Amino acid sequence: MKVALIIENSQAAKAEIIHDALSSVAGSFGHEVHHYGMYSAEDDASLTYVMNGLLAGILLNSKAADFVVTGCGTGMGSMLACNSMPGVFCGLVIDPTDAFLFSQINDGNCMSMPYAKGFGWAAELNLQDCYRKIFENEGGAGYPKERAEVMAKNRGILKDLKAASCNDMLTVLKNVDQDLLKAAVAGEKFSELFYANSQDEAISEYLRGITG
């Protein structure tokens, strides 16, 4: 699985801690981690939590990523922005129990974490434990197990509801503020990572056109 990491500007100073925790856990399960930035607080390309959502939508809808890990100070802003995108189902994960239940019940494709609120002593251990609960079990198995069938049905209904209420990703890209879109894909490694992994030529071509 390709796991994309996106870090917002207010928490960019913690990028190395977050990336190391995610890579150590995801790698142990055989997943690749693609770090889309930010990489430090001094990066030229700055990502807001709104851009996090837009970038998550691009990566998941193009299949350049199978799962997105993002966040902000509280995790709330990034979660809301991600859930505004078609095909993105993002959960707020604060502790390992959140991670386990989100994986087993909701089987989402994106998680948002608070990297300021509650980020204190041994924070990197909480990160590792959360990532482990996301990746160690097959998603959607249900909890409790006897409700797995009902939960799967509800996920399908939610997916249909979202499809009915959202435009497709290419339409979103064409309608969104183009300066916002350019800023969201301006990271120094975006082109290197995205175009090699995108499976949607229409999205790829549109982004090439706006970025030159």
- Which class for 156: exposed (0-12), middle (13-18), buried (19 or more C-beta within 10 A)? exposed
Least Cα distance to 186 among 38, 3, 27, 26 occurs for: 38
pLDDT above 90 for 212: no
* Mean pLDDT within 81-88: 98
Q: Where are the domains of the chain?
A: 2-211
The b/e string for 119-151 (b: 16+ C-beta within 10 A; e otherwise) is: beeebeebbbbbbbbbbeeebeeeeeeeeeeeb
- CA 205 to chain centroid, in Å, comes to 22
Tell me the pTM.
0.97
- The rounded radius of gyration (Å) of the Cα atoms in the chain is 16
**Tens digit of each residue's pLDDT (9 = 90 or more) over 48-70:** 999 999 999 999 999 999 999 99
Nearest-angstrom CA–CA distance, 167 and 151: 25
**Tens digit of each residue's pLDDT (9 = 90 or more) over 162-195:** 999 999 999 999 999 999 999 999 999 999 999 9
Q: 39 falls in which pLDDT band (50, 70, 90)?
A: very high
DSSP code of 104? Answer: I
* Torsion angle of C-alpha atoms 84, 48, 59, 103, degrees rounded to 10: -60
pLDDT at 173: 98
* Paired strand residues for 33: 3
Report residue 18 as tokens.
């977050």
Instruction: Kindly report the length of the chain.
Output: 212
Class of domain 2-211: alpha beta
* Mean pLDDT over the full length of the chain: 97
* Mean pLDDT within 128-145: 96
Q: 121 falls in which pLDDT band (50, 70, 90)?
A: very high
Side chain identity, residue 119: F
* Mean pLDDT within 122-149: 96
**Three-class SS state of 48:** coil
Percentage with pLDDT > 90 across the chain: 99
pLDDT at 113: 98
Q: Are 60 and 111 in contact (CB under 8 A)?
A: no
Nearest-angstrom CA–CA distance, 28 and 163: 34
* Mean pLDDT within 23-45: 97
pLDDT above 90 for 104: yes
Query: Going by C-beta distance under 8 Å and a sequence separation of 6 or more, which residues neighbour residue 139?
Result: 103, 104, 107, 108
- Which class for 24: exposed (0-12), middle (13-18), buried (19 or more C-beta within 10 A)? middle
Nearest-angstrom CA–CA distance, 104 and 138: 8
